[in-house]
Every structure is written in C-alpha cells, then in structure tokens.
Chain A
Amino acid sequence: GQQVMQIPQYQHVQEGEDFTTYCNSSTTLSNIQWYKQRPGGHPVFLIQLVKSGEVKKQKRLTFQFGEAKKNSSLHITATQTTDVGTYFCAGLPWGAGNMLTFGGGTRLMVKP
C-alpha cells in the first residue's frame, strides 16, 4: 500500500540555524500537504503543493514538490523557538479520493 516516509525523525537545532525535513512517497502523488503540530496541540495545515517542481514560500518556510511528484521538502531558514513542533507531510495518492497518508513526522526542537 501507499507509504510516506519522512526524515529525520528528530532534529535539534540552535536558534538561528536552518532546518530541513524530507518526505518520500512510494507512489506518485496528486498533491502533498504539510502540517505543523505544536506540543499538546493538533495538526494545523501549512500548505498544499500540486504541480511538479512547485516551490512555495511562507516567510522563513520554503516548500518544494519534486519533479516526479513523489517527494517533497520543507526548509526553515533561521529557526526560532516558535518553530518548535512536529512537521508532518501528507500525501494524496492518485485515485485515492480524499484520503491523505501522513508521513511519520519530524519533531523539531530549537535551543534558545
């Protein structure tokens, strides 16, 4: 079945350092979404990527969708303590209707 792998599982960074999480799908995706879950909170939608090779930016966050639409990345420039949380990618495979498959998540910890 559909699998979405995400690395790394954990990342500790010093405030001000950059951070990247990578997401790989076993099958081609219709789109990929990114969510952030703060400690004790629920997942909150960040962005959706649909087009092959698409790049989107939200302030210090840069999201990329691979040319083959099977991988994606989230890069945070100059991390801040407010970036702490777990970042999940979620892929929507072709023909899967509305059912997202979530990656395992990357837990980001930022040392002030």
Chain B
Amino acid sequence: SAVISQKPSRDICQRGTSLTIQCQVDSQVTMMFWYRQQPGQSLTLIATANQGSEATYESGFVIDKFPISRPNLTFSTLTVSNMSPEDSSIYLCSVESDRGYYNEQFFGPGTRLTVL
C-alpha cells in the first residue's frame, strides 16, 4: 500500500484568496487523483494528474479554478483559486494501487478547507 501525506491538514481562508494543497506519496506512482468531499457528501473527482502532462479535469471543474501541478512521480499540488464559501470542503488526493489485477485507491488524510 502507499502512504500519502497532505499539507495543510486544515485551513481557514478569506474569500478571494487562493490555497495550494500539497500531496506527497512514499513511492512513485503514475496517476494521482484529486477529489472534493463536501460535508456529509460523497467524493467527487476533480481531476486526474499524470506526471509530465496536463491534468484531465472532470465536468464542472476547470483549470483556472483548480490548477494542478505534477512535477514528479511522488508529488502533486492542487490550488483552489479565488475562493468563495462554496469551496469549503475536504480535498483529498489519492493514488491507484500498482497491484495489476487490483486497482484500489489509497487516499491521503485530506485537507479541510473553510472559506469565510
């Protein structure tokens, strides 16, 4: 299994500012995923990040609002830009297992964001 850390674990931000969330994995992985989980809700995929290429965004999410970097095989960042209270959520990164037959995902501990 992969061990994933995220920074910050939580933050309270003002409307209109931006926050960059970091995700570090203890092994090299091809694909990293960024999810949003609003309070009491399910997980919604924001984008998939491959090293060396632009992230692929899901419907409803755009690069200008959620720019993603993937500089190497163990690290990624997600920026939440020009924040509004509607962006208050938990943001989780995950990676896919490299066990071949199994492709379960391992999640980081999440970043709890509150926008005032």
Q: Which residues of A contact B (CB under 8 A)?
A: 1, 31, 33, 41-45, 48, 50, 88, 90, 92, 98-105, 107
Q: Is the CB of A45 within 8 A of B104?
A: yes
Across the two chains, which residue of chain B brings its CB closest to A89?
B42
What are 20 A-B interface contacts by the 8 Å CB criterion? A31-B103, A42-B107, A42-B108, A42-B109, A42-B110, A43-B43, A43-B92, A43-B107, A44-B107, A45-B105, A45-B106, A48-B104, A90-B105, A99-B48, A100-B105, A102-B42, A102-B43, A102-B44, A103-B42, A105-B42
- Which chain A residues lie closer than 8 Å to B104 at the CB level? 33, 45, 48
Q: Is the CB of B105 within 8 A of A48?
A: no
Q: Is the CB of B42 within 8 A of A98?
A: no
The contact of A99 among B41, B45, B101, B110, by CB within 8 Å, is B45
Q: Any chain A CB within 8 A of the CB of B96?
A: yes
